[in-house]
Structure 1
């Protein structure tokens, strides 16, 4: 059966002679695409190699290689003295040639042909902007990281033959070397009397909380959080189908008496808390309340999920040790991040918990992150062992403390009549409450128009509070001054 003249073979094939993909494979893939979509019908006879080479303006040997590839993949068959035919049905029926639309082969379906469950709970809350100046919720400055030094560690490890073997194995359990050094580091710096068997290495705090939720929470459970809490964590809890109850916060952290009242009213499964610097208000949970919470957890049997997201950043005094360091009954699960002061690619998350829970957690991690990142973990382990982490933290903390002080001075100078805030003892953000009537969304829009981006996730406004969480860690002095100037001018326009 001859190939109909209506088939525009040259329109199917767009050759990119600069591509690393060979020309014969480009042609083969695009012809297969045309067959799959019905533009070259099943059973049709393809042009001879000489004819198709002239149509596509390529060497005949290229088309010979194309037909060999189509035959190898099972798309065509060669019949002696007849020619090359597309394998398939309808060879005896009249051929119907679909109308070809230019570039249609390059288009991917816009939607699925099946239905599926959707959820607005997990809608991405993060925004992005091209503004030159940006406030965030407190992240380090990538410009301060010693990329060259970190890269040398990575390169050195990658060149070692003993380490190259790791590339050929799945290892969701993580690097034993890193876990050993990290457990020792956490013991010395955070008073956690743990071994490597109490550690699970994850990609992020969010992954850690997701794994914890999958194992420990069931639909209908009740979870307590601060009256203002981390939105990403709340999204994970909502996805788990739990009931979230907010507990008020004051200048000493979460109010323990309110936790007790909640326990007396209903069965509480978990309390999520960020005691070192409460998110978003940055207040530190007092030592007295820490002990009271541990006693309540033992009395009522609820889990304390302690998120120590910025323990590395403290300035004025030594940080208060985690609740987990005083837990003797296995009621606290401790999660944190390591290397947050480093470049994003060098950071990792972790979970600290009793060994029986670790066994179950490793099962889940083996499903969602089977390969792990053993090489990077080896790098971090050596940075701990050689003291590089401590040296880098000491240098960067000095810079961040200077930035905190300067940012606080600028806020007092330009916005002191409009906001109230306390200079935080640690962390990379300041919690500022407004004492004047102001629409924060409108303020944010004005700032954006003047090249300062304030994401909506930093804005907290309801009938009881009007506040913002302003990160300073990513801004140098000049950027701070310009950002505060824009913010101050925008305030005048919306009040």
Structure 2
């Protein structure tokens, strides 16, 4: 992205960056386009700000861009929230064709966008799709990223990229929540970038996560292949598993809990009534833990 320091604001995690950006764009009664299956905390955040969610389906090529065009044609909403790279929760990536169509829609309707790119660094099979924010969007795309996924979940460090004027306004809003960030901590992370240590760490992480993904997906197919459908993700840190419609994920979660393993029961996903799926992470598990998890899955399924 062609940006300078005045286009970037550092935040305590990407979630705060999303909140600040949305707070400057939305007001009670605003309408926000989101994916039908979406990052739950973003949905809750927009509703907390008084907005109404307009849901659009996601398929193997990403969010339905034609549906977004039709919504804008009838009445342009106030915001589009999108995760084009490793969509949460399904892990799919917006196709290049849809990306070009969406950029045209953004420019044509002057549609404000929050682009959540929480794990851009983790791609395994090919080069990542470039962010929407890297293309010509006339200043309508606000880009949110995270260092937390690169280092550790306890490292609460995110950032918001936008026009210089928007970042000035965002900084004034942030000032009401915290007078300054953790400057010493931010300088320490900056030093990791400057010395190249963070880049080396990232390369090691990508190699490790790729290996864990391959092992995890291979064992999943062996243990649950007749019960689930999933696509091996091209990047990211999780697998989206869809079970047979009459299969109880909550029941599976309880049986795993009795074996000393915690797995989300799917209740956190609002769409669980229509899609019997669950997002399961693999990046934090070593080989032994992956093998143990899938072995126990085979026993309690």
TM-score when scaled to structure 2?
0.95
Aligned equivalent of 1:202: 11
Aligned equivalent of 2:88: 279
Aligned equivalent of 2:292: 482
Provide the aligned C-alpha RMSD in A.
1.5
Aligned equivalent of 2:199: 390
Post-superposition shift, 1:418? 0.9
> Are 1:350 and 2:173 an aligned pair?
no
User: Structure 1 stretches (4+) deviating beyond 6 angstroms?
Assistant: none
Contact 1:275 1:285 survives alignment (8 Å):
yes
The 1-side partners of 2:296 and 2:90 are apart by 23
Please give the residue correspondences for 1:438-477 in structure 2 after superposition, counting only pairs within 5 Å: 438-456=247-265, 460=269, 462-477=272-287
Post-superposition shift, 1:210? 1.1
Residue of structure 1 aligned with 2:30, choices 221, 230, 239: 221
Cα 1:312/1:347, change in 2 over 3 Å: farther
Contact 2:62 2:87 survives alignment (8 Å):
yes
Residue of structure 2 aligned with 1:437, choices 235, 240, 246: 246
Post-superposition shift, 1:231? 0.6
SS at match of 2:27: coil
The 2-side partners of 1:459 and 1:433 are apart by 15
Aligned equivalent of 2:215: 406
Deviating more after overlay: 477-486 vs 342-351: 342-351
Contact 2:266 2:278 survives alignment (8 Å):
no
Larger radius of gyration: 1
Structure 1: runs of 5 or more not aligned: 1-191
Cα 1:209/1:448, change in 2 over 3 Å: same
> Are 1:252 and 2:61 an aligned pair?
yes
SS at match of 1:446: helix
The 2-side partners of 1:443 and 1:343 are apart by 28
In the TM superposition, what whole-angstrom CA distance separates every residue of 1:272-310 from its partner, at most 9, and x where no partner exists?
000011110000001111111111112222211100001
Post-superposition shift, 1:450? 1.5
Post-superposition shift, 1:446? 1.6
The 1-side partners of 2:196 and 2:299 are apart by 45
Contact 1:459 1:469 survives alignment (8 Å):
no
Contact 1:346 1:380 survives alignment (8 Å):
no
The 1-side partners of 2:26 and 2:245 are apart by 41
Aligned equivalent of 1:307: 116
Deviating more after overlay: 411-420 vs 453-462: 453-462
Contact 1:446 1:490 survives alignment (8 Å):
yes
Contact 1:411 1:484 survives alignment (8 Å):
yes
Contact 1:200 1:358 survives alignment (8 Å):
yes
The 2-side partners of 1:458 and 1:411 are apart by 21
Aligned equivalent of 2:237: 428
In the TM superposition, what whole-angstrom CA distance separates every residue of 1:181-230 from its partner, at most 9, and x where no partner exists?
xxxxxxxxxxx110001000000111111111211101111000001001
The 1-side partners of 2:90 and 2:185 are apart by 33
Contact 1:334 1:352 survives alignment (8 Å):
yes
Post-superposition shift, 1:436? 5.4
Post-superposition shift, 1:312? 1.4
The 2-side partners of 1:350 and 1:418 are apart by 40
Post-superposition shift, 1:411? 0.5
The 1-side partners of 2:220 and 2:98 are apart by 31
Structure 2: runs of 5 or more not aligned: none
Aligned equivalent of 2:227: 418
Contact 1:459 1:468 survives alignment (8 Å):
no
Post-superposition shift, 1:426? 0.6
